[in-house]
């Protein structure tokens, strides 16, 4: 996770549009497995907007 954070912050800090585009092309897609899991969680009716005060 640290390496991922470092890469993102470096790209942002450098303002490197080309690197950001390449990074999003590589890492910015939702795969079939993740999409199926997201749909399963969404269909389970689990509340996502709970606020504890």
pLDDT tens, position by position, 3-46: 999 999 999 999 999 999 999 999 999 999 999 999 998 999 88
Q: Is residue 34 part of a domain?
A: yes
Amino acid 49: pLDDT: 84
Range of the domain at 17: 2-43
**Cβ(5)–Cβ(23) under 8 Å?**
no
Listed in sequence order, the residues at least 6 apart from 18 whose beta carbon sits closer than 8 Å to its beta carbon are: none
Q: Is residue 49 part of a domain?
A: no
Count of structural domains within the chain: 1
Q: Is residue 53 part of a domain?
A: no
Q: Is residue 36 part of a domain?
A: yes
Residue 48 binned pLDDT confidence (cut-offs 50, 70, 90): confident
Q: Is residue 50 part of a domain?
A: no
15: left (phi > 0), else alpha (psi -120 to 50), else beta? left
Q: Is residue 18 part of a domain?
A: yes
Tokens of 30: 């939702």
Q: Is residue 51 part of a domain?
A: no
């Amino acid at each position: 996770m640290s390496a991922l954070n470092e890469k993102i912050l470096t790209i942002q800090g450098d303002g490197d549009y080309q690197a950001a585009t390449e990074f999003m092309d590589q890492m910015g897609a939702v795969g079939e497995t993740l999409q199926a899991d997201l749909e399963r969680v969404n269909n389970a009716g689990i509340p996502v907007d709970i606020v504890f005060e």
